[in-house]
Amino acid sequence: MSASSLHVAIAATLCLGGTSFARAVPSYRDLNHNGRLDPYEDTRRPVEDRLDDLMRRMSVEEKVGTLLHISPPADDRIGLGRKYDLAKLRQTIAEAHVSSLITRLATSPRELAEQNNAVQKLAEASRLGIPMTISTDPRNHFQVVLGASTAGGGFSLWPETLGFAALRDPTLVRRFAGYARREYRAVGIHMALSPQADLATEPRWPRTTATFGSDPRLVSDLVAAYVEGFQGGRGGVTRIGVATVVKHWVGYGAEPDGFDGHNAYGKVARLDNASFASHVAAFNGAFAAHTAGIMPTYPIISGVTIDGRPLEPVGAGFNAQLLGTVLRGTKRFGGFVLSDWAITNDCPERCERPTAATPQGFAIGMPWGVETLSVRQRFAKGLNAGIDQFGGVSDPKPLLEAVRAGEVSMARLDEAVRRVLLLKFQLGLFDNPYVDPAQAARVAGNPAAQAEADRAQRESQVLLENRDGVLPLRAAGTRVWLYKVDPAAARARGFVVVNDPAQAQVAVIRADAPSEMLHPHHFFGSRQNEGRLDFRADDPDFAAILRASAAVPTVVAVNLDRPAILSNVRSRAKALLATFGASDAAVLDVVTGAARPKGRLPFELPLSMEAVRRQDPARPDDTQAPLYKAGYSWTDTHHVGSTGPAGK
């Protein structure tokens, strides 16, 4: 913390019954630079009193800026890289009065802490010194997809949340979240734009990997544990906690054909009242654990009625029935509502229908159902519907114009601002938003955390097949052919790695769930796994399985970011594993018996693409005659063999 922000403690002389004594006033941060201790700077006062004082001091422009959650300028125009563009950010803070941003920096914990400290220094220099709330997409998992997750940058590396769903252990989720919380706060991150409480009901949906599966009760329980671990308790966010923003309210997983709502072709999700109730129930744990925030989903929710009235055909961020009637009313949610990114932006022709000649690029907007409204009208509609803060926008002018025109009342503006600022006080940011970079380097990715993460990677795997007792493999001296497995990891366990299956005694193959690139010109569509789930002859991974299984007993580990169809893989693999984010070392430890897989499938695996096409995207696990049912594990019903691989 800068010395200029502190004032030496003063003494007040009080008289009580004729006796004089000195009361020490603690050092404080002179946030508004006026040389005296003001109520909102006084740590001894109740938070509500401090908040009231700050609200009285804020201009309309500062209040409007508080409702923007920006993607800050950095090495890359969308915030990627190792450093923020501090000169541009200083200008944005001064002119737009923003005090919330998402960090997408991918760098070392020490450097990330230093960069976040630099951001807080800029915020401290503003008129009222309002500290910056810094958020992030998940950083502790394997998958990195722009707009959904971020490169870890030295953080502990755990299975995807699907892996936690496979283990069905709220205590483990709570422990994971506790480790991640400490890592986040050590580098100066205060808000997790996670977890997803979305139900994985459409097998082709590309966001499945970050869910807790298809069972609403299990999802609810694991989301509650996640929130508790991150926020520091079940009663809401604490001063040592990280605020969670649970997403995406509600029905996001019910996207026809699995097409995602980031894209114009995925702007509508279809449910009915019964399926909608299941998707809502998945959020119950978030409310029970008092999550700080909720993020509405992108798509228009169709086919649902609330109190006998059809939902308005607008994206959830503009829907007063979803945000007011159900979220605030039925569920009595009192926290803050943060929109998903760019819902007030236009979606021009190259966004709606990009081509090879005119790809979407950065023409990104998701104003689903309100395309004909002006940007100003979208801000007004969203705020009046229940949004408290808008993600991914940095221009306050449209919202400011709406307020000045009376399209948004001052009471509604103040209500939203209070929710955003209250969280800053609860997190202790007004008192000290700075972190120690050296401590960040010690906390993030520390050996104890990674040891538990490694164990979770191993145990979350699901054994699907183990014919002829091929597992565990005897490693010492066994000749193995590998595909997508690090040879060094195999040699470290005693395997002899060969270059041809014909020379091997056994093959170990890692494969990814199949996918297609159906929308290569869309910004998000080109980054998401869409389309088919079945292995076909021209898939490189399946070609490797065919080659190996024709020569030797073959062990296949498939990473299930979506529910793959394994019908033709099962018939060729002696042993079959499902993984949900695991290192080569973790897979080999399971294959050799050094670790035992304890997972069970977090969703069913369909028999065929025809079965996938016939199922209801809004209902979980409803394909006809699935190859493996949700909850399946070979380990539950079979004894795992104790001898080595079959010889040639």
The residue-averaged pLDDT of 391-396 equals 96
Torsion of CA 350, 354, 357, 363, to 10 degrees: 40
**Mean pLDDT of the residues in the chain:** 93
CA distances from 86 to 119, 182, 397 (A): 7, 26, 22
Q: For 118-132, what is each residue's pLDDT tens digit?
A: 999 999 999 999 999
Which residues lie closer than 8 Å to 610 by C-beta, 6 or more apart?
none
Tokens standing for residue 347: 């979606």
Position 77 scores a pLDDT of 62
What confidence tens digit (pLDDT) does each residue in 372-386 have? 999 999 999 999 999
Q: Is the pLDDT of residue 511 over 50?
A: yes
Between 145 and 56, residue with greater pLDDT? 56
What's the pLDDT at 147? 67
> pLDDT category, 3, cuts 50, 70, 90?
very low
Catalytic residue annotation: 215, 340
pTM listed for this prediction: 0.94
DSSP conformational letter for 203: T
How far apart are alpha carbons 364 and 342 in whole angstroms? 7
- The amino acid at residue 75 is D
Q: What gap in Å lies between CA 452 and CA 460, rounded to an integer?
A: 12
Omega prior to 497 cis, within 30 of 0? no
Confidence of residue 143 (pLDDT cuts 50, 70, 90): confident
> Whole-angstrom Cα distance, residue 617 to residue 601?
19
Q: Do 232 and 284 contact (CB within 8 A), yes or no?
A: no
**pLDDT given at position 74:** 83
Using CA atoms, how far apart are residues 636 and 420, in angstroms rounded to an integer? 47
237: Cβ contacts below 8 Å, ≥ 6 apart: 231, 243, 244, 290, 292, 423, 426, 427
Judged against a pLDDT cut of 70, whether residue 640 lies above it is answered with: no
Q: What is the pLDDT of residues 104-114, one digit of tens each?
A: 999 999 999 99
Residue 321: φ, ψ to 5°:
-70, -45
Q: How confident is the model at residue 6 (pLDDT cuts 50, 70, 90)?
A: very low
The pLDDT of 623-631, averaged and rounded, is: 98
pLDDT at 7 over 60: no
Rama region for 142: left / alpha / beta (φ>0; ψ in -120 to 50; rest): alpha
Q: Please report which confidence band the pLDDT of residue 12 belongs to, taking 50, 70 and 90 as the band edges.
A: very low
Angstrom distance (rounded) from CA 514 to CA 520: 16
- Cα distance between residue 272 and residue 346, in whole Å: 29
Residue 144's pLDDT is: 75
Q: DSSP characters for 594-646?
A: SS------SS-B-S-HHHHHHS-TTSTT--SS-SB-TT--HHHHSPPP-S-PP
Q: What is the 3-state secondary structure (H, E, C) of 323-374?
A: HHHHHHHHCCCCCEEEEEECCCCCCCHHHHCCCCCCCCCCCCCCCCCCCCCC
Q: Which two tokens stand for residue 131?
A: 């500290």
Q: Is the dihedral of CA 482, 488, 494, 500 positive or negative?
A: positive
Distance CA 490, CA 644 (A): 15
Backbone angles phi, psi at 496, to 5 degrees: -105, 115
Q: DSSP 3-state assignment of 268?
A: strand
Return the structure tokens found at 437.
């970079």
The pLDDT score that the predictor gives to residue 644 is: 34
**What is the crossing angle of helices 216-231 and 273-281, to 10°?**
30
Q: Kindly report, residue by residue over 444-482, the tens digit of the pLDDT.
A: 989 999 999 999 999 999 999 999 999 999 999 999 999
Tens digits of residue pLDDT in 152-172: 679 999 999 999 999 999 999
pLDDT at 221: 98
Cβ count near 466 (within 10 Å): 22
State pLDDT tens for residues 26-42. 578 999 999 999 999 99
Least confident of 79-83, 172-176, 288-292, 481-485: 79-83
Structure-token match 């800026």, residue found:
65
Report whether pLDDT(224) > 80: yes
For the residues of 503-540, what is the DSSP string, one character each? G-SEEEEEEEPP-B-S-TTSTTGGGS-BS--B--TT-H
Residue 513 pLDDT > 60, yes or no? yes
pLDDT at residue 527 greater than cutoff 50: yes
